[in-house]
Amino acid sequence: MRIVILLFDGVTALDPIGVCDPLARLPNTEIVFVSETGVPCRTGDGFLSLAPSAAIANVSEADVLLIPGGRPEGIQQCINSEALRSNIKRLDRTTAITGSVCSGSLILGAADLLRGRKAATHWRARDYMAHFGAEYTGDRITRDEKYWTSADVTAGIDLGLAICRHIAGDEIAASIELAMEYDPKPPFGTGNPHNASPKHKSIVAEILRG
């Protein structure tokens, strides 16, 4: 099984890595990181460089295609690239699962793959979904036929485990969750926007604008 994960300048580091980790533990799995040109990409915080295995145009097919999120300028650059959108649509025609983490759903939307579908995304990007003809769910993970989308950053781990379950069944997916010792207990309980105060939401808005 070939799992293709997109990288781009401005990508949020945990988005591709979080969804990759559980999936990489499945047997007989090949993970292929790609970028538009095949060159390394800087993460949105500027501290990491992630190296793809190939340019997306040089990958002929994928069983699973995953699009991570990132900084607004990185997302916009992907949306503006007709070549990248075309290659995403081309690979989508070969997949059993096409998915996104966080604002990666905006890239899928720009490729016209979410029109008429329900989708998750970062809560700050929710209003953009209607622009692409998609319905924002507010859920941590949303599945609409072969399209799987998740909320922000850490939800990518949940998405990876959910796809593991779909592919390999409960026992394997549960064992992968144990192998990862994935048992999050967030210290503040503000990770869901429904539980966060207006003050914390405004701080997040300032951080994202910066």
Average pLDDT, the chain: 96
Q: What is the mean pLDDT of residues 37-50?
A: 97
Query: Per residue in 17-33, pLDDT tens?
Result: 999 999 999 999 999 99
Q: Has residue 77 got a pLDDT over 70?
A: yes
Q: Catalogue all structural domains in the chain, each as residue range(s) with its CATH number.
A: 2-209 (3.40.50.880)
CA separation for the pair 116, 144 (Å, rounded)? 10
Q: Which percentage of the chain shows pLDDT scores above 90?
A: 88
pLDDT tens, position by position, 154-204: 999 999 999 999 999 999 999 999 999 999 998 988 888 877 788 877 777
Those residues whose C-beta lies under 8 Å from the C-beta of residue 34, and which sit 6 or more positions away, are 4, 5, 6, 7, 52, 53, 54, 55, 56, 59
Residue 38 pLDDT class (50, 70, 90 cuts)? very high
| Structure confidence at residue 195 (pLDDT) | 76
Instruction: State the pLDDT at residue 189.
Output: 81
Residue 135: phi, psi to the nearest 5? -105, 115
Query: How much is the pTM?
Result: 0.94
CB 12 within 8 A of CB 98: no
Catalytically active residues are 102
Cα Rg of the chain, angstroms: 16
In this structure, what token pair is assigned to residue 95?
Answer: 């997949």
CA distance linking residue 39 with residue 190, whole number of Å: 36
Q: What is the pLDDT of residue 204?
A: 76
Distance CA 197, CA 57 (A): 44
Is 161 in contact with 182 (CB distance < 8 Å)? yes
Q: What percent of the chain has pLDDT over 70?
A: 98
Distance between CA 134 and CA 23 in Å, rounded?
26
Residue 194, pLDDT score: 76
Distances (CA, A) of 169 to 44, 166, 183, 198: 34, 6, 19, 40
